Amino acid sequence: MTTKAYKKELSDALNLAPEVVERLFNLFFTSIQLELEKLKNAIETGDMGQIYVISHKISGSASNLRLDEIMTLGKQMEEYAKEKSNQDYFSLYQQMVSAFDRAHYDVNKEVFGK
């Protein structure tokens, strides 16, 4: 699929103009990068409340933009933190960062044509 076709498909799915979709992705990647740093700090300190809040924000934002892998990982971490489950949060965080990097690359290629 061409970049133009992908952008149109995404614009139609989100019911937004292509320019708005581009701005949303730019905002998402900028803000979620900061949230991932906060999440890492929360994991290092074992702050389950912050892990829950930040992963909820990440999964919701990713869901809105149809970034399913990030959404799924965020939701999983959110559920673990809600239950105060004894999980390897750092491993899940690393998976989320990798998914973020892949999505950023794919969106730059497919939406922005970079």
Q: Can you give 51-64 as a three-state secondary structure string?
A: HHHHHHHHHHHHHH
Name the band, by pLDDT with cuts 50, 70 and 90, for residue 65: confident
Find out whether 52 and 59 touch, Cβ atoms under 8 Å.
no
CB neighbourhood size of 16 (10 A): 14
- Give the tokens for residue 63: 């869901």
Residue range(s) defining the domain that contains residue 68: 3-110
User: What value, to the nearest 5°, has the Cα angle with vertex 2 and ends 15 and 25?
Assistant: 45
Residue 37: enclosing H or E segment and its boundaries?
helix 18-45
User: What is the CATH number for 101?
Assistant: 1.20.120.160
User: What is the model's pTM?
Assistant: 0.85
Domain total in the chain: 1
pLDDT digits (tens, 9 = 90+) for 34-59: 999 999 999 999 999 999 999 999 99
User: What value, to the nearest 5°, has the Cα angle with vertex 37 and ends 34 and 100?
Assistant: 75
